[in-house]
Structure 1
């Protein structure tokens, strides 16, 4: 039995701006991953259907690669994509599914609901949950910085 990760956040930014930060490659690279991670290789274009990938390097020096297919884009409210981790031989593992839904709220705020499904209970699900919490915190900082300029 799989168990999805579901995370909800409210951002002090208009939905169109949040959508742009999620779907635009140059902006996505500002917030993708945990603090202390770098992105030496990526194609984080979630604006269109097709392949995406990212290779991150953690603060401890470990390299991690993930990839998938963008399966649905509905501006400015929805992005969906598949996700698979690669092993040390670059073989792609089990596929999971991510959906990011955006709702406009009063006062130019946006509710983001992230659902990452088809995850096995235990460490796989827990690690994705922690990763998304950290990544969405970086998105919040990137949005705040952009809107204050």
Structure 2
């Protein structure tokens, strides 16, 4: 039984889970995560500017986003949508990449759950499995800052 049980166990120290309530309807928060024109307005940590280069929103569809950091450093993220269930759930598998689209870090799975809570949205992010605790902690900082950007953006469109 030990081997089978280990296949479904995630190493808790390399898993990131963030839950946050956004003061916007679930349908709008989902659109902000899935429509390129919305994504470009808030995606990335504070001080970053993002360009959505590809966004084929369907299971098996690819996405690729370029983020320009405040120090003019380039960051690319890319991957494939695994599940798209509007306005409830998104699952994406992706990684950091170089300018040519070659992955530079191991893939992680990003699962987003969108729940209606009285006209607001509870967004739960589950990102796993990171190659190290350090990578998880860096992503925690990045996603927390990104969620701040999303909250600011939603206040302008809701």
**By the TM > 0.5 criterion, same fold?**
yes
Instruction: Tell me, yes or no, if structure 1 residue 97 matches structure 2 residue 135.
Output: no
Structure 2 vs 1, CA of residues 104 and 89 (structure 1 numbering), >3 Å: closer, same or farther? closer
TM-score (norm 2): 0.84
Is structure 2 residue 60 aligned with structure 1 residue 47?
A: no
Unaligned runs of 5+ in 2: 1-10
**Greater relative contact order: 1 or 2 (C-alpha under 8 angstroms, separation 6 or more)?**
1
| TM-score of the aligned structures, taking structure 1 as reference length | 0.89
Structure 2 counterpart of 1:4, from 10, 15, 28: 15
Aligned length: 145
Q: Matched residues in 1 for 2:124 and 2:40: separation?
A: 20
C-alpha spacing 1:102/1:87, structure 2 compared with 1 (3 Å): same
The match for 2:136 among 99, 122, 125 is 125
Please state which structure has a larger fraction of its residues in helix.
Answer: 2
In 1, are the aligned partners of 2:40 and 2:51 still within 8 Å (CA)?
A: no
User: Is 1:109 matched up with 2:120?
Assistant: yes
Unaligned runs of 5+ residues in structure 1 are none
Q: 1:11 to 1:41 in 2, by over 3 A?
A: closer
Instruction: State the structure with more CA Rg.
Output: 2
Query: Does the 8 Å contact 1:53/1:68 carry over to 2?
Result: yes
Matched, 1:38 2:49: yes
Q: Which has the higher strand share?
A: 1
RMSD: 1.7
